[in-house]
Amino acid sequence: MSTRTLDTDILIVGAGPVGLFLANECARRGLKWRIVESKPAQSEHSKALAIFPRTLEIFDMAGIATPFLEIANRVTSVRIITHEHTLAQMPFQPEESPYPFIAMVPQNVTENILVGELNKKNGHVDYATRFVSATQYDDHVKVVLEKNSHEESIHVAYVVGCDGAHSSVRHQLNLDFEGGEYHDLFMLADIETNAILPAEELQLCPHEAGPLAIFPLNSNRHRVVATVPKAEGHEPALEFVQDLLKDRGPSGLKANYLYWSSYFHIHHRQVAQLRQGRIFLAGDAAHIHSPIGGQGMNTGLHDVWNLVWKLDLHLQGHGNDFLLDSYSTERRPVIKHVVEITDFLTRMMATPNRFIQALRNTVIPMVSRLAPFQHAFVQKMSELGIAYQGSPVVEGSGLRYMDDSLRGGKGICSQYLLLLNRDLPPVMEKAAQQLEKEFQQIIALRRTHDQGIKLVRPDGYIAFSTNRESQASTVETIKSILQQQTMPSV
Ligand SMILES: Cc1cc2nc3c(=O)[nH]c(=O)nc-3n(C[C@H](O)[C@H](O)[C@H](O)COP(=O)(O)OP(=O)(O)OC[C@H]3O[C@@H](n4cnc5c(N)ncnc54)[C@H](O)[C@@H]3O)c2cc1C
């Protein structure tokens, strides 16, 4: 660690949802941190709306799920409808999660909840404070900030750039932001409607003129997102939205009032690496993609959930460079997949090709009734299917693990859980106890009725699991996984 006196350990740049969630996690873990935001206050725009089941589970593990659950509209089914013809109506109720629904919460409300939770932990955001530059040294980063036209230099152990699509932190690192731009313009409108659509149903409307998605805030308030060939006026007017709904939406749906609306250009890009030395990127600073699918904010929140325990262990002297590197190695494939799948969805919903339209309109009604298709669809969209198989710090499937003991913000922090079947052979029991002793600061041992042995990481993903509980090599494997990420780097 640094021999210089540092102003703080983790500097978070940007108080969007991703930076705010990271600040909450730093505060919960008792780390030294600071969050700066260039704007004078939180944004009032409600861009992201959908919070998916895995994100709710993560909020639960972080101890902040309750205010979201109190306020959210719960969506439990997805209807795909084109030219007033329903192609599919699929349940969205993943049984394996305590949160079998999509929580609809406007992004400004999400940010206010996160600020409120941060305040409860005696944390606050430094508003009107802009990140200007960073210079990396072996043992710290010197950062220049600007507030009220005054520059301030601070020295920190790590910087996490959560500063959005135009990230200054990313520019500072001079990293490629690979991808492209959608030719079409996107529009967004929050409208009051007649109450013909169920509040618990989300509508996706493929159309040759461009996709349209309708997200319910309740039965008579909806968010419409669509692509349009060109802008009409500075921002979409009520009549414009009414025409769009008439052309592409479910029949009978009427927009009576416009709360706010906007046009925006969207890119689909991802950064070449998420870490450079002591500086990390997360959220829109690292990846941007089509809002069809509603994955952007969720993916950013998962980024910092993956990162924070690694920084925590590193700052405590229990995690090495290899572990920090795994942030980029693990998240890049997940991000790549999200960029690709949202791109596919956007293009598929907008295809002008009549053959592909016909194929889509024939295939979707058939496959959407099949349980395996429904399951695969929900797994992808809910993000419950994310796994870190192939990661250098995981041996095996890297699947998510969830049980009640992880919930409520107290169950999981910076310790791995070593879950042992209650009836292990004595020799294995002894070996596991020995392991716990050796890694006592980072392992918590627990007996379960589950078969075999599992090593669960502090973010609720399985680092290793086996049913072959009587093999002595099992404990050796777990030991080598832990050593690999905790031994000091040479
Ligand atoms: C129309 C629309 C609909 C969307 N719908 C969904 C959805 O349903 N679900 C979903 O998951 N996602 C959705 N998204 C994407 C989602 O809004 C973003 O992914 C999310 O806002 C990213 O959060 P963030 O914290 O990474 O970045 P931002 O929200 O962009 O926050 C970055 C913050 O950093 C600050 N900042 C910038 N530069 C500096 C600096 N130099 N110094 C200090 N602070 C700085 C900014 O002021 C800003 O507050 C949607 C996006 C759009 C545009």
Q: How, if at all, do strands 150-161 and 177-181 pair?
A: unpaired
**255 plus 283 within the same structural domain:** no
CA of 297 to the centre of ligand 1 (A): 7
Centre of ligand 1 from the C-alpha of residue 257, in Å? 26
Q: Is residue 417 part of a domain?
A: yes
If asked whether residues 204 and 309 sit together in one domain, one would say no
**End of a domain among 350, 366, 388?**
350
Choose the most confident range, by mean pLDDT, from 310-314, 423-427, 467-471.
310-314
Considering the entire predicted model, what is its pTM? 0.94
Domain that residue 222 falls in: 185-265
Q: 259 and 241, same structural domain? A: yes
Which pLDDT score, from 0 to 100, does residue 430 have?
Answer: 85
Q: Which atom of ligand 1 is nearest to the CA of 264?
A: 53
Task: Report whether residue 264 contacts ligand 1, using a CB cutoff of 6 Å.
Answer: yes
Candidate from 47, 110, 227, 263 with most ligand 1 atoms within 8 A of CB, to mutate? 47
Same domain, 176 and 281: yes
339 and 323 part of one domain: yes
In a domain, 223, yes or no: yes
Q: Report how far residue 205's alpha carbon sits from residue 397's, in angstroms, rounded to the nearest whole number.
A: 35
Q: How buried is residue 444: exposed, middle or buried, by Cβ count under 10 Å (0-12/13-18/19+)?
A: middle
Model pLDDT, residue 58: 97
Residue 86 inside a domain? The answer is no
Q: Look up the CATH number of the domain holding residue 466.
A: 3.40.30.120
Q: Is the pLDDT of residue 490 over 60?
A: no
CA dist., res. 197 & res. 253, Å (int): 8
> Do the beta carbons of residue 217 and residue 223 sit within 8 Å?
yes
144 and 208 housed in the same domain: no
- Strands of the sheet containing 255-264, edge to edge, are 85-91, 77-82, 201-205, 212-218, 221-228, 185-193, 255-264
Q: State which ligand 1 atom lies nearest to the alpha carbon of 162.
A: 26
Instruction: Look up residue 468 and give its amino acid.
Output: R
**Residue 256 and residue 240 in one domain:** yes
Q: How far is the CA of 106 from the centre of ligand 1 (A)?
A: 12
Boundary-marking domain end, from 249, 265, 281:
265
Ligand 1 centroid to Cα of residue 420, in Å, is: 41
Query: How many independent structural domains does the chain possess?
Result: 3
* Cα(245)–Cα(357) distance, integer angstroms: 20
In the block, residue with structure tokens 């909450």: 24
Instruction: Note the pLDDT tens digit of each residue in 140-168.
Output: 999 999 999 999 999 999 999 999 999 99
CA of 105 to the centre of ligand 1 (A): 15
Going by alpha carbons, the residue nearest to atom 49 of ligand 1 is 16
Q: What is the pLDDT of residues 352-402, one digit of tens each?
A: 777 777 777 787 777 778 888 888 888 888 899 999 999 999 998 999 999
> Does residue 320 lie in a domain region?
yes
20 within domain boundaries: yes
State the CATH number of the domain containing residue 226.
Answer: 3.30.70.2450
Domain closes at, from 237, 265, 293: 265
Instruction: Tell whether 35 and 124 lie within a shared domain.
Output: yes
| Neighbouring residues of 277: CB distance < 8 A, sequence distance ≥ 6 | 136, 141
Q: Do 123 and 44 reside in the same domain of the chain?
A: yes
Percentage with pLDDT > 70 across the chain: 98
Indicate whether residue 260 lines ligand 1 (CB < 6 A). no
> Does the beta carbon of 381 sit less than 6 angstroms from any atom of ligand 1?
no
The token pair at 379 is: 């797994």
Are 246 and 177 contained in the same domain?
Answer: no
User: Cα torsion at 32, 38, 39, 41 (round to 10°)?
Assistant: 10
The closest of 388, 385, 387 to 377, measured between CA atoms, is: 385
Domain match, 259 and 234 both: yes
For residue 124, is it within any domain?
yes
Residue at 61 is within a domain: no
> Which tens digit of pLDDT belongs to each residue from 432-471?
888 889 898 899 999 888 888 999 999 999 999 988 666 6
> What CATH number did the domain enclosing 111 receive?
3.50.50.60
Concatenate the DSSP letters of all residues of 236-273 into one string.
--HHHHHHHHHHHS-TT--EEEEEEEEEE--EEEEES-
**Domain co-membership, 165 together with 311:** yes
